[in-house]
Amino acid sequence: MPLAEYKKKRKFSKTPEPKPQKASRTGALHFVVQKHDASRLHYDFRLELDGVLKSWAVPKGPSLNPADKRLAMEVEDHPYSYKDFEGVIPEGEYGAGDVIVWDEGLYTSSETADPKESREKLRQGYGEGELKFVLLGKKLQGGFALVKIRNQKGGKDNAWLLIKEKDKYASAKDVTKDTKSVKTGKKLPRDSKRP
Ligand code: MN
């Protein structure tokens, strides 16, 4: 069961997060980036694939600069409906803290815009530890790659790098300076305190 780990970590009587349900999906693929003020601030980078959201925690957040390689730790699959989740995970629960939808939109494989072929290419890329895709978000656009770091002996095997491809959307501008939710315009309380 793909969402077993997601389910195991949470008490759905306590958390407002979506229940573990796999979605039946065709058509265009979605991505979301949530900004999550948990015990450590991070961005959750999520790509829809096969009815769930493949998920990575990116401590520094995405960059539009192809020279940056952002560490992305793969975490458990999340339900597709998690892409709309914005709210507060209560104190004492797994991932306690505020969550906003920092960016969202559609995405495709870098090799094809066709949703069905994209799924095949992405499935294959995920299995091989090298995902190449094009984001059509509000903050993030153009080509990106997620590349799995080869496992060192005894090392963790969930570390990937998130890298912007060189294209017309590449930029040296710090995209994380824009702290607003693209869904509601809200900011995390920690960002609202700043001028
Ligand atoms: Mn998180």
Q: What is the pLDDT of residues 158-185, one digit of tens each?
A: 999 999 999 999 999 999 999 999 999 9
Separation of CA 42 and ligand 1 centre (Å):
6
3-state secondary structure 84-106: HCCEEECCCCCCCEEEEEEEEEE
pTM (predicted TM-score)? 0.95
Residue 188 — very low, low, confident or very high, per pLDDT cuts 50/70/90?
very high
Contact indicator for 61, 45 with CB cutoff of 8 Å: no
Separation of CA 44 and ligand 1 centre (Å):
5
Tens of pLDDT, residues 27-72: 999 999 999 999 999 999 999 999 999 999 999 999 999 999 999 9
Separation of CA 110 and ligand 1 centre (Å):
26
119/150: higher pLDDT = 119
- Tokens of residue 79, six digits: 């339900």
**How large is the average pLDDT for residues 104-124?**
96
Q: What pLDDT sits at residue 154?
A: 66
Distances from the Cα of 133 to the Cα of 29, 105, 140, 163, angstroms: 11, 13, 12, 11
Q: What pLDDT sits at residue 86?
A: 97
Separation of CA 37 and ligand 1 centre (Å):
8
Residue 23, pLDDT > 90, answer no
DSSP 78: E
Question: How far apart, in whole angstroms, are the C-alpha atoms of residue 41 and residue 43?
Answer: 7
Separation of CA 23 and ligand 1 centre (Å):
21
Question: How far apart, in whole angstroms, are the C-alpha atoms of residue 117 and residue 156?
Answer: 31
Separation of CA 51 and ligand 1 centre (Å):
19
Separation of CA 38 and ligand 1 centre (Å):
7
The SS3 assignment for 162 reads strand
Separation of CA 112 and ligand 1 centre (Å):
30
Separation of CA 96 and ligand 1 centre (Å):
9
Residue 194 — very low, low, confident or very high, per pLDDT cuts 50/70/90?
low
**How large is the average pLDDT for residues 116-129?**
96
